[in-house]
Structure 1
Amino acid sequence: MTIYSLYIFDRHCNCVYYQDWHRTVRPKTAVEGGMLPAVYAPVYPAANPDSLYGNRNTLSSSSGVVVAVNDEQPHTPLPTQTHSPIAPLPTPPTSSLPFDEEAKLVYGVVLSLRNMIKKLSGKDEQFVNYQTSTYKLHLYETLSGFKFVMLSDPNADSLRFVLRQIYSGPFLEYVVRNPLVGMDSRERGIDNEYFRMSTDRLIRGLTVFQ
């Protein structure tokens, strides 16, 4: 048994956070404008490399002051490789869907099943998980409209309590109580280093995680 991935959606139906662990197929880069920034950096479309790494010019054109000069320094040649090169690691396959489309499908499944259960069983029943032959989807929804969705091995028990732990622990500590995180914004995700590290530590400490 294992855990594959975690999605968090806000009340505007936007995916505001994503994290994965034992995923065998890498998520594909989202199309430009298809996802919010600060959701998951590896799949965010980078239109301009300077926007990720900053302006790399070493000469200020306005003042003429040289910030750093290294081009004229002699470079030490790389050592000649005398042994056979190590075979590169195989690249894991990539999903055929862009990440933004994948997130929409996950949210659409959750919304459809949630509405169907409410219509068939009444307001007292809640949709908490469903299982297929390859994965199991778990849902925890907060009163403020955030939906925590986790995909796991189909043989895993209900992980709703884990999603509740993520909400009551790292989410409240590093997102809700963080004045720098906009909780009702359609412009940016909620990713930050402390929340991601705390969530990762919580998941890896579970007995279901392998």
Structure 2
Amino acid sequence: MTVYSLYIYDRHCNCVYYHDWHRTRRPKPANEGGGFLPGVARAVSPIPPASASNASTPYTSPRHTLSSSSGVLVAANDTQPQSAPPLLQTHAVTTPPPASYTSTGLPFDEESKLVYGVILSLRNMIKRLSGRDEQFVNYRTSAYKLHLYETVSGYRFVMLSDPNAESLRFVLRSIHTGPFLEYVVRNPLIEMDSRERGIDNEYFRASVDRLVRGLSIFN
């Protein structure tokens, strides 16, 4: 059993974060003008990685990290190059190279909309058939199991795992109460109601990666 991928949707139904692990068929890069927010994930960004102004980090937005290269505030008179913190170095080493993936043939912007459409349709169907007290938490197919965790503020955390996995709702809740609150909600440089960028905080991405890799289900 293992974990495949993680999606986070904001209150505007936009996918603001994506991360995958044991997924061997990664979606194609998002289409230009397809509603893809910058900073969601470098692997599915429509902008080629080589065009980034800073090759040491997947994202270059100074609004979401204290420094675009490391996430650490650097003194103005410090002329020494800043090395990446150990947390980021560990994340960089353990991430599989893009060459090991094949494409599903579906652009990421279309895939993320399909995933959101599925959870929204099933959520509405359950509420209409079973009443308002019932909640949609997961469903399973022969290929994967989808887990859903919704916050009061309207954010939806979606995780795809092996179909035989137990409920991972507690993992999604841990991501929300841990890295999400620490590096996103409490970060004054991130606009929580913004429709302009995804969550491009490197410390959040590295913390989520470490949390998921520490699970007993992760192989």
- TM-score computed with the length of structure 1 as normaliser: 0.80
Aligned length: 175
Structure 1 residues 48 and 150: alpha-carbon distance in aligned structure 2, compared to 1, 3 A threshold = closer
1:179 maps onto 2:180 in alignment? no
Q: After superposition, give the CA deviation of every residue in 1:63-104 in whole Å (9 maximum; x if it has no partner).
A: xxxxxxxxxxxxxxxxxxxxxxxxxxx753211100000000
Q: Report the residue type matching 1:13 in the other structure.
A: C
Q: Which residue of 1 aligns with 2:136?
A: 127
Structure 2 residue aligned with 1:17: 17
How far has the Cα of 1:45 moved from its partner?
1.0
Residue 179 of structure 1, CA deviation: 0.5
Distance (whole Å) between structure 2 residues aligned to residue 191 and residue 142 of structure 1: 20
Work out the CA distance in 1 between the residues paired with 2:100 and 2:129: 45
Of residues 136, 139, 145 in structure 2, which corresponds to 1:136?
145
Per the alignment, do residues 48 and 125 of structure 1 end up closer, same or farther by CA in structure 2, a change over 3 Å counting? closer
**Residues 19-40 of structure 1: CA distance to partner in whole angstroms, max 9, x if unpaired?**
0000010221100122000100
Aligned mates of 1:48, 1:135 — CA distance in 2: 30
Find the residue that maps to 1:8 and give its secondary structure.
strand
Mapped pair 1:151 → 2:171: no
Amino acid at match of 1:38: G
Who is 1:36 aligned against? Answer: 37
**SS of residue paired to 1:53:** coil
Report the AA paired with residue 198 of structure 1.
S
Question: Structure 1 stretch 190-199 or stretch 131-140: which is displaced more?
Answer: 190-199
Distance 1:152 1:145 in 2: 23
Query: Counterparts of 1:14-163 in structure 2 under 5 Å?
Result: 14-34=14-34, 35-46=36-47, 50=51, 52-53=52-53, 91-163=100-172
SS of the counterpart of 1:109? helix
Taking structure 2 as the reference length, the TM-score comes to: 0.77
SS of residue in 2 equivalent to 1:5 = strand
Partners of 2:122 and 2:136 within 8 A in 1 = yes
Q: In percent, how many aligned pairs have the same letter?
A: 72
Is the Cα contact below 8 Å between 2:24 and 2:100 reproduced in 1?
A: no
In structure 2, runs of 5+ residues without a counterpart are 55-98
CA distance, structure 2, for counterparts of residue 91 and residue 4 of structure 1: 15
Superposition deviation, residue 202 in structure 1: 0.4
Cα distance in structure 2, aligned partners of 1:91 and 1:9: 27
| Contact 2:42 2:49 survives alignment (8 Å) | no
Distance in 2 separating the partners of 1:105 and 1:5: 15
1:139-178 CA distances to partner (integer Å, 9 max, x unpaired)? 0000000000000000000000000000000000000000
Unmatched runs of 5 consecutive residues or more in structure 1:
55-89
RMSD: 1.7
